[in-house]
């Protein structure tokens, strides 16, 4: 196929993002769509996405690595939870060993994508930031655009603006931009937040800090799980890698799914079990009801994982504590709460969450008209109503991110192969029911979701517009359901004009 503009290189598929999901997409494009050309546009200068960005102490997976890792590259360890650098090395090695790294254009921040119906093609605009050169605008064109860029803002995390912040004499840092020169040894540290980052930071920093306080406005559910997978280790000793990996993967998928369904159906029971574990680990002197009993039900927000009960051990040892209260203001020596209590600090870590960013902040347009993603409805958790030849790899909120991303990547390849065989150029989900009832794209009450809910696409209440957060249902839908379901429409591009 020729390209009208020689300065705009053409690829069959453009993948945005070289993190876990981007490398998975490339693997399947190479193995299932070998005849199609592709390029990966990555904003950063390295592979790894989230695992290259986050460098805070103790950063690790909060999903087990046998499902967070790739199905096609077994995780070579009995550790269920891995440190961030190990995950980054794993993703980088996958890209290198499969030759995927040769397809990555680093330093390309995609800002816009414009669809031309006449040519049935996307034109992507990106800013190239190359070492030693001033930034410049570059363009690519493609038949199919595949977003694997995650769902949050890589440039800035969420930080509330508390009064008196500028008066604090110590150092304030956000986990998303951890300074390499920060020395917190033998210092008093306050970690503001109660999510996954805070629960990871507190026990890690407690090892060398004078004391660490986790200051939370409201509690989160924290579940202690063993780091070592004993059953997995036995299977790996007795069976070949590929078989043991498959069995461990399905074991973990099944257990996670069963626990989630149980929590949704019996939230009061699961709440009692989680709090009973906390009481056993922390002892009778700790006020579990005040500090570890959220007002919401389990899985209304993501559960926090404590590998080998690390945060519970840090609190029980006295090296860390948990304080629940509202911040009134920063002071020169720390923080003052609305209760009047003052917490001294040398270092304050604002582990206050993420900012969501739709499609990595890329502006979409179709034949010159801007696309409002908040008006779209997600189709099979992979595409959007009214938007042609575009897919997004978004993972689960209740299981490993990679599970859903691999299903979507395989579905995209299935779709592309079918279109190639039938000589079709365009595919687009179409919603013919203006009265289709919808609900939020992400069914969580977490602050980072609620702050950006108005920007996100919606999901329907029935198939194929419903997102079930269920791997088995998605496997059946994305791998085995017919492509021609009456909702996904196909056509060939218009014949060239004389």
pTM to 2 decimal places? 0.91
**pLDDT winner (highest mean) among 13-27, 45-59, 236-250, 349-363:** 13-27
Residue 7 pLDDT class (50, 70, 90 cuts): confident
pLDDT for residue 458: 83
Count the Cβ atoms, other than its own, within 10 Å of residue 85.
14
pLDDT mean over 479-485: 90
| Structure-derived torsion over alpha carbons of residues 345, 346, 351, 352, reported in degrees to the nearest 10 | 60
Asked if the model's pLDDT at residue 4 lies above 50, the reply is no
Residue 152: pLDDT over 80: no
Among candidates 199, 196, 201, which has minimal Cα distance to 58?
201
| 319-324-330 Cα angle (round to 5) | 85
Domains in the chain, please, with CATH?
10-154+355-491 (3.50.50.60), 165-232+271-350 (3.50.50.60)
More confident residue, 279 or 473: 279
More confident residue, 198 or 399: 198
Question: What pLDDT is attached to residue 447?
Answer: 57
DSSP 479: I
Tokens in use for 63? 């999903």
- For residue range 302-337, list pLDDT tens digits in order: 899 999 999 999 999 999 999 999 999 999 999 999
3-state secondary structure 19-88: CHHHHHHHHHHHHHCCCCCEEEECCCCCCCCHHHHCCCCCCECCCCHHHHCCCCCCCCCCECCCEHHHHH
Tell me the three state secondary structure of residue 235: helix
Give percent above pLDDT 70 in the chain.
95
């Amino acid at each position: 196929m020729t390209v009208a503009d020689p300065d705009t290189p053409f690829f069959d598929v453009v993948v945005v993002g070289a993190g876990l999901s981007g490398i998975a997409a490339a693997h399947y494009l190479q193995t299932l769509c070998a005849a199609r050309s592709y390029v990966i546009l990555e904003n950063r200068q390295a592979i790894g996405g989230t695992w290259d960005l986050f460098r805070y102490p103790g950063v690790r997976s909060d999903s087990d690595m046998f499902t967070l890792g790739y199905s096609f590259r077994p995780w070579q360890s009995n550790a269920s939870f891995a440190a961030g650098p190990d995950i980054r090395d794993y993703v980088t090695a996958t890209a290198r060993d499969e030759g995927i790294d040769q397809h990555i254009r680093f330093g390309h921040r995609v800002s816009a994508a414009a669809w031309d119906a006449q040519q049935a093609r996307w034109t992507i605009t990106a800013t190239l930031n190359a070492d030693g050169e001033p930034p410049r605008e570059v363009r690519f064109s493609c038949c199919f655009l595949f977003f694997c860029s995650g769902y949050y803002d890589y440039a800035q995390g969420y930080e509330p603006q508390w009064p008196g912040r500028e008066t604090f004499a110590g150092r304030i840092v956000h986990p998303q931009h951890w300074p390499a020169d920060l020395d917190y040894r033998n210092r008093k540290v306050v970690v503001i937040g109660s999510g996954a980052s805070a629960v990871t930071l507190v026990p890690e920093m407690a090892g060398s800090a004078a004391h660490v306080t986790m200051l939370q406005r409201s509690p989160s559910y924290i579940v202690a799980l063993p780091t070592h997978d004993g059953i997995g280790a036995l299977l790996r000793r007795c069976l070949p890698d590929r078989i043991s990996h498959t069995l461990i993967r399905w074991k973990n998928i099944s257990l996670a799914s069963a626990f989630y369904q149980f929590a949704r159906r019996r939230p009061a029971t699961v709440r009692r079990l989680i709090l009973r574990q906390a009481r056993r680990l922390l002892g009778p002197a700790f006020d579990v009801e005040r500090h570890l009993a959220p007002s919401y039900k389990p899985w209304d927000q993501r559960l926090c994982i404590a590998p080998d009960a690390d945060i519970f051990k840090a609190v029980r040892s006295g090296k860390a504590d948990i304080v629940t209260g509202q911040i009134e203001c920063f002071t020169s020596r720390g923080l003052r709460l609305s209760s009047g209590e003052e917490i001294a600090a040398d270092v304050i870590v604002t582990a206050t969450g993420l900012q969501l960013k739709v499609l990595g902040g890329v502006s979409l347009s179709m034949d010159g008209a801007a696309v409002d993603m908040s008006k779209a409805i997600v189709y099979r958790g992979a595409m959007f109503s009214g938007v042609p030849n575009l897919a997004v790899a978004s993972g689960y909120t209740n299981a490993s991110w990679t599970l859903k991303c691999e299903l979507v990547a395989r579905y995209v390849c299935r779709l592309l192969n079918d279109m190639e065989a039938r000589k079709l150029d365009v595919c687009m989900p179409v919603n013919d029911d203006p009265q289709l009832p919808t609900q939020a794209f992400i069914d969580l009450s977490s602050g980072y979701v609620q702050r950006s809910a108005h920007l996100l696409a919606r999901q329907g209440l029935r198939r194929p517009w419903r997102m079930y957060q269920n791997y088995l249902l998605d496997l059946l839908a994305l791998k085995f359901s017919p492509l021609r379901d009456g909702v996904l429409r196909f056509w060939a591009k218009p014949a060239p004009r004389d």
